[in-house]
Structure formats: structure tokens, C-alpha cells
Amino acid sequence: MAKQSNNLLGWLLGAGVAFILCAISVAVSSYHGEQGRETVMLFDSLAYLPILVFAVSLFTASKLHRPGDRIEGDKVLRHDGIARLTHWTAAFGCLLLLITGIALGFLFIPRFVVDATATAMMFNLHFVGALFFVFGCGLWASNQLVEPRRFSTHLPDESLWIELKKSVLHYTHMLGMTKTHVEAPKYHHSGRLAGLVIMASSFVVILSGFGKLLARGLDLNPSIAELINLSHGWSALALLLLIPVHALLGGVAPWAWNTLKAMVTGYVSRDYAQKEHAIWFRELEEKQRHQESQR
């Protein structure tokens, strides 16, 4: 009961912070000040905040102690609180960035907002999205550096061809097109492959985003500024194409409901872990036996 209460409290707190920040960003986009109607651009007035948020994510990761996945009776802890925090802050930030980015237009995507107030609102919401995305990705990345073993679970451990073959077999099995069932580690082979592109794209988006922030205060060489803009745009486009597929196959599709639930509660059932992530489950059993033998 205590775990459920803490989980609910965390969700309410996170939703509250997101709502308040979004409300503030909308409110300051157009308000009546002493000199009439004024607009505040958060990317200008609070340009230091994304850097501060990134620093906070690094500091937080350095202080964390995560016990790791474990079997708890008929349940298996798949994602601890920190994993869920990094996932949902990055996910919310990414969603907000993509929506506002499309509204503002980039690369060959036309701008959908032209009014000054609406444009300021989109930029300010984009700023809020950047804060969440930078925090989530920064916390995740720095945690991988603190505990490198976690990073290996996200990477392919076989050749590209084998990973692709197992990915196809997995989804054809899920769709009932074949009876061949591929034993999976904690993250399916397709997720590991897609994860590489998502990680690379996210890194470029954040790095180029800081570059764009720098360009607002400095007179950069036009060629460098254009390179930053193109890097930001194409990496954002990669995320725009990949994230919906990731959400569909990893959460919306019926076979993924258990993993989606785990991203909310942290747990999957023991039976599900044994069947769908057999390699991971055997590793947890071995870890549990080793820990018990040390007592």
C-alpha cells in the first residue's frame, strides 16, 4: 500500500509541476504590463535554466543508489522509480518539443503559427519541453555512466543481421504469423536497435539545442549557425518518425500493455517475465540465488 501511495504521489507531483510550468509559459507569452501588452521569451530571459537543469540531473545521478531489478513473489520489478522518472520526464518533454516544433516549423515543415502571441507561446512551451527533456535524458545518460552495466542492457549484443532477424521473428510471432518464439532479454532486440537511433538523435537534439541557445546571445558564423539548425532539425525529424513507432509497438499494441503498465507501476507479473523475457528472468533468478547463498 505504501508503494502504491508513493507512486500515486509521484505521478500527482510530476503532473502538477508540468501543468504549472506550462501554465506559466502560456501566461507570460502575452500579458499587460506597465507599458502595455508585453511578451516574455523564456529562451532569452531564462537562458541559463536548461544548463542548470542539466547540472541538476548530473548531480542527482551521482547521488542515486538503485537496487536493480528483482523478483518479488509473483511480481518482478522491471523499472524502479528512477527509471520511470527518467522515462516520463523525457517522454513528456519530447512530446511537447515535437508538437511545438511542428507548430513553429522546421526543415521542410511549414510554420503553422504566424501570430506574434501564438508564436511566443509555442516558443515558451518549447522551452518547458526542453527542460523536461534535458532533465530526463541527462539523468538517464549520467546514470549509465555511474552504472555502466545498465547501459549494456540497452545495446545490441549480437550482429546487426541477427538482431534484425530476431526482431522480425518477434513481431511476426506477436501478430500470430509464426509460432517461432524468440527468447528475449530485458529489452527486446527491436527495442535495442531502435534505442541506438533514439539515443543518437536525442544527443544531437540536445547538443544542437544548446548551440541554438548559445546563438541567441552570440554572433555566430552563419555557416556554423546553419549547421546547428540543420543538425537540430534532422535529429528532431528522426525522433518524430521513431517515437510514434516506439509508442505503438512498446505501449499501445496489445502485446505491450504489460510493459506499459510496468512504466507506470514498475512491475510486471512473474509469468509475463518468464514467458516474454526469459533470458532476463533467468538472470534475475541466478542473481537471487547468488544473493541468498551469500547470506
Neighbours of 289 (CB within 10 A): 10
Inter-residue contact 197 to 238 (CB < 8 Å): yes
Q: Which domains does the chain possess?
A: 18-294 (1.20.950.20)
More confident: 68 or 283: 283
The angle that helices 189-215 and 81-104 make with each other, rounded to 10 degrees, is: 60
**pLDDT surpassing 90 at residue 186:** no
Query: What confidence score (pLDDT) does residue 88 get?
Result: 93
**Percent of the chain surpassing pLDDT 70:** 95
In tens, the pLDDT along 232-275 reads 999 999 999 998 888 888 788 888 888 888 888 889 999 999 98
Kindly report the backbone phi and psi dihedral angles of residue 268, in degrees, each rounded to the nearest multiple of 5, phi listed first: -120, 165
Residue 32 pLDDT grade (very low, low, confident, very high; cuts 50, 70, 90): low
Query: What confidence score (pLDDT) does residue 37 get?
Result: 61
**pLDDT surpassing 80 at residue 204:** yes
Cα angle, residue 218 at apex, residues 99 and 139 outer, rounded to 5°:
50
Inter-residue contact 143 to 94 (CB < 8 Å): no
- Compute the average pLDDT of residues 268-286: 90
36 Cβ neighbours under 8 A, 6+ residues apart = none
Residue 36 pLDDT grade (very low, low, confident, very high; cuts 50, 70, 90): low
Query: What confidence score (pLDDT) does residue 57 get?
Result: 92
Query: What confidence score (pLDDT) does residue 49 get?
Result: 93
**pLDDT surpassing 80 at residue 2:** no
Q: Give CA–CA dist 88/132, Å, rounded.
A: 9
In tens, the pLDDT along 56-85 reads 999 988 887 777 889 998 999 999 888 899
Three-state SS for 76? strand
In this structure, the dihedral spanned by the alpha carbons of residues 228, 234, 235 and 241, taken in order and rounded to 10 degrees, is 160
Inter-residue contact 142 to 165 (CB < 8 Å): no
Residue 149 pLDDT grade (very low, low, confident, very high; cuts 50, 70, 90): confident
- Compute the average pLDDT of residues 45-56: 92
Query: What confidence score (pLDDT) does residue 185 get?
Result: 87
Closest CA to 235 of 207, 257, 193: 207
Mean pLDDT of the chain: 87
